[in-house]
Structure 1
Amino acid sequence: MSRSSKAVVSFIVGAAVGVAVGYFLNSDKKDELVDKLKYQADKLKEKFRAKKQQYEDAIENELT
């Protein structure tokens, strides 16, 4: 594929993603999506905190 055709495909994909995001953010489901994303982010943060604590405890046990 040539450079110009890659650029055209990239532009089309970017435009499609932009339209989809714009449509979704203006729809009634926006609040539901934001709540789901916040919930998933909080779960992920809690998993990272638990792993961090686990590693800190393991390191502390090894040093003592």
Structure 2
Amino acid sequence: MAKSSKAVVTFIVGAAVGVAVGYFLNSDKKDELVENLKSQADRLKEKFRKKKEQYEDAIENELA
């Protein structure tokens, strides 16, 4: 794909995402959406924290 077609596709996808976010933030479900996103972010943070601890333990065991 040529550079210009990639740029056009990227622009269209970005615009679509922007429209979707704008729609949801202006809808009645805004608070529900924000709470769901916060909940998902918290779950991801916890997953990453656990993985970090696993890797730290594995490295510590290798060095010991």
- Tell me if TM exceeds 0.5: yes
* Bigger radius of gyration among the two: 1
The runs of at least 4 consecutive aligned structure 1 residues that moved more than 4 Å come to 1-16
Q: Percent identity?
A: 84
Q: Which amino acid aligns with 2:58?
A: A
Task: Report the 3-state secondary structure (helix = DSSP H, G, I; strand = E; otherwise coil) of the residue aligned with 1:28.
Answer: coil
Show structure 2 runs of 5+ residues with no match: none
Change (3 A) 1:15 1:63: closer
Please report the TM-score for the alignment, with normalisation by the length of structure 2: 0.71
The alpha carbon displacement at 1:62 in A equals: 1.0
Task: Report the 3-state secondary structure (helix = DSSP H, G, I; strand = E; otherwise coil) of the residue aligned with 1:21.
Answer: helix
Show structure 1 runs of 5+ residues with no match: none
Q: Which amino acid aligns with 2:49?
A: R
Q: Which has the higher contact order (CA 8 A, sep 6+)?
A: 2
Q: Which amino acid aligns with 1:22?
A: G
Measured on the aligned residues, the alpha-carbon RMSD in Å equals 2.6
CA distance in 2, matches of 1:51, 1:57: 10
Aligned positions, number: 64
1:53-64 paired onto structure 2 within 5 Å: 53-64=53-64
